[in-house]
Structure 1
Amino acid sequence: MTALVILPLTGLPEVVADDDLATLLLGAARANGSDLVDGDVLVVSSKIVSKALGLWADGRDRSVAIAAQTVRTVAERRSGDRLTSVVEAVAGPVMAAAGVDASNTGDREDVLLLPADPDAEAFRLREALLAATGLTRLGVVLSDTAGRPWRSGQTDFALGASGVAVLDDLRGGVDADGRPLSVTARAVADELAAAADLVKGKADAVPAAVVRGTPWATADAGPGARTLVRTGAGDWFALGQAESVRSALGVPPGGQVAQDVGIPSVAPEPVTDRVARAVAVALRECETAGVDVGGAHEGGGGTQTIELRVSAATPYELGVVTSRLQVALWGEGVDVVVPPEATGDSVVLTARDRPSARG
């Protein structure tokens, strides 16, 4: 590879249902002096594919559309009266709000949904482009935008792909120094999507770009972008930290049970709020147990402490509830001191706010 060229396709009209995207894209390429050639990768915003497919939903209650597009909830947080969910979408990836989007929707108040099978839509678009141009080696990537764990900001990624080598698996080879490569596999399709977004932008009405000069376009359809989604044992991040703890205690995310015990906020919360949530989680399925929560007071090092008196009908249930409470508090960023021994039907715990959990 000697040079990489990224060409924005400007001048595309607002796409509406049943538009012929292949014709529109080829017309824009011609008008921009960028007729497609063999080896090109055409990166197209999934939003215009959704518009052409008429994938609209009522925007007055976005949560209904999100629920319909959700396979499972990974994490959820409150922000005032609004609930934001990170979910596994029907379209495949894990992303906020299942990709249901209200931006760049023209003059409509509705929201756009992602295609249910983005790889199939990329395949159909590529087939139409190949038929119209006579080319033999052409890649199509449907791009969308998402955040990433541990990194601020969003970037574009490959939601769907056809005619693209989506993964450059270097395992079994060697690096520039001759050392064996055992884990390196480049997500090429995602890199192509992110590169194209440098000229497409988010507010410039440029929904497509041609990436020219790469070796990644293929003559066959290829495996598609869904193969990049980690699943099963390869998914180390199937739930958020708080959701993992709560799920282990019988409170999975994304349902009424989670709503009943309370959902963590995106903003820092007082230790009293987090303790109250932990108590609600701990007491589920423990009908004869109770927890009396004392007031918060300053402890050493500026931390706040709260005394919790746990009571139950039997020593066994007391042990169960105390253990559940200790785990639930840890998940809320609250450490707890449990006395080495307990007699009778109650025990007093000391909950201490963990500084790192205050935001």
Structure 2
Amino acid sequence: MSLSVSLTAIPGIPDIQNGDDLDAALGDCMEQAGLVPQEGDILCIAQKVFSKAEGCIIPLSTVTPSAEAIKYGEELNKDPRKVEIVLRESTRVVRAFRRPDQVSGTMICEHRLGFISANAAVDESNFGEEDAAMVLPADPDASCARVQQAIAERFGVQTGVVMTDTFGRPWRLGQINVAIGLSKVPATIQEQGNLDAWGRPLMVTEPALADEIAAASGLVVRKNGKTPAVLLRGLDWQPTDSRGADIIRKKQEDMFR
């Protein structure tokens, strides 16, 4: 059982560009900072650097909006080209709305990866390009696995990797980092069947380990700090075959669908 953990933002990570070797950049920066990974460490890495390395940036000038995108654009006061990208990244629009106090509205969508998020996680901020939109990597789990394997080969230790993104939460203010891709790190810890401190059996307890790790990483990262990777050390966990989708609630359990 872990009684303490440490979180350290990895300094010196360069501005990642399309085609850059993200694995090598992370390894170099950890060595230079004296943060050589140890057995059981977990790397929390922001989605944006994966998307930049994998070329997931779409110039708006290359997008022709559909009739549906134009309609949403007019209703929400949003650029129909961005709306078109949101629609392409989504399997469905859960709700679209614009409050009277909003300049532009929001689309709550089910992303092609299964996550429910605002604007299908399509982003226009904090990646250094104008008139462009960034989308999530095609396969976040595969992206995490490549980094995990490269770190294992370079340093000879078993680590975990969590890809993080910033989501809002229903009925709660603000945003928080959540896990959207995993390598080796369990999505949840199933406590069902174990006993609580008073000997009562746990029936539904299932801590969201990957999201807890992702959220914790946000404590040492600033949006303007250019520190997209965090090294977590000291956590007691067991490597497993895991996927980001493992943390998505099954549709048959969704009471709000």
Answer yes or no: same fold by TM over 0.5: yes
Matches within 5 A, 1:125-274: 125-135=147-157, 137-216=158-237, 218=239, 220=240, 222-238=241-257
1:85 to 95, 107, 111: 107
The residue aligned with 1:56 is 57
What is the rounded CA distance, in whole Å, between the counterparts of 1:95 and 1:140 in structure 2?
A: 22
What is the rounded CA distance, in whole Å, between the counterparts of 2:238 and 2:124 in structure 1?
A: 32
Identity %, equivalent residues: 34
The amino acid across from 1:77 in the alignment is F
The residue aligned with 1:17 is 18
Q: Is the aligned partner of 1:112 residue 2:134?
A: yes
The 3-state SS of whatever aligns with 1:141 is strand
Gap regions ≥5 residues in structure 2 = 62-80
State the structure with more CA Rg. 1
Q: Is the aligned partner of 1:74 residue 2:75?
A: no
The amino acid across from 1:115 in the alignment is P
The alignment's C-alpha RMSD in Å is 1.5
The 3-state SS of whatever aligns with 1:196 is helix
Which stretch of structure 1 is more off in the superposition, 151-160 or 83-92?
83-92
What is the rounded CA distance, in whole Å, between the counterparts of 2:138 and 2:110 in structure 1?
A: 12
Deviations 1:88-114 (A, max 9, x none): 112331100000011111144311100
What is the rounded CA distance, in whole Å, between the counterparts of 2:54 and 2:255 in structure 1?
A: 34
Quote how far apart the aligned CAs of 1:2 are: 3.0
Quote how far apart the aligned CAs of 1:226 are: 0.8
What is the rounded CA distance, in whole Å, between the counterparts of 2:129 and 2:138 in structure 1?
A: 24
2:144 to 113, 122, 134: 122
What is the rounded CA distance, in whole Å, between the counterparts of 1:165 and 1:229 in structure 2?
A: 13
What is the rounded CA distance, in whole Å, between the counterparts of 2:18 and 2:237 in structure 1?
A: 31
The residue aligned with 1:286 is none
Which stretch of structure 1 is more off in the superposition, 137-146 or 26-35?
26-35
What is the rounded CA distance, in whole Å, between the counterparts of 2:204 and 2:222 in structure 1?
A: 32
Q: Does the aligned pair in 2 maintain the 1:90–1:116 contact within 8 Å?
A: no
Higher RCO (CA < 8 A, seq sep 6+): 2
Which structure 1 residue ranges, 4+ long, deviate > 6 Å from structure 2? none
What is the rounded CA distance, in whole Å, between the counterparts of 1:115 and 1:162 in structure 2?
A: 15
Quote how far apart the aligned CAs of 1:58 are: 2.5
Q: Does the aligned pair in 2 maintain the 1:41–1:217 contact within 8 Å?
A: no
Quote how far apart the aligned CAs of 1:214 are: 0.4
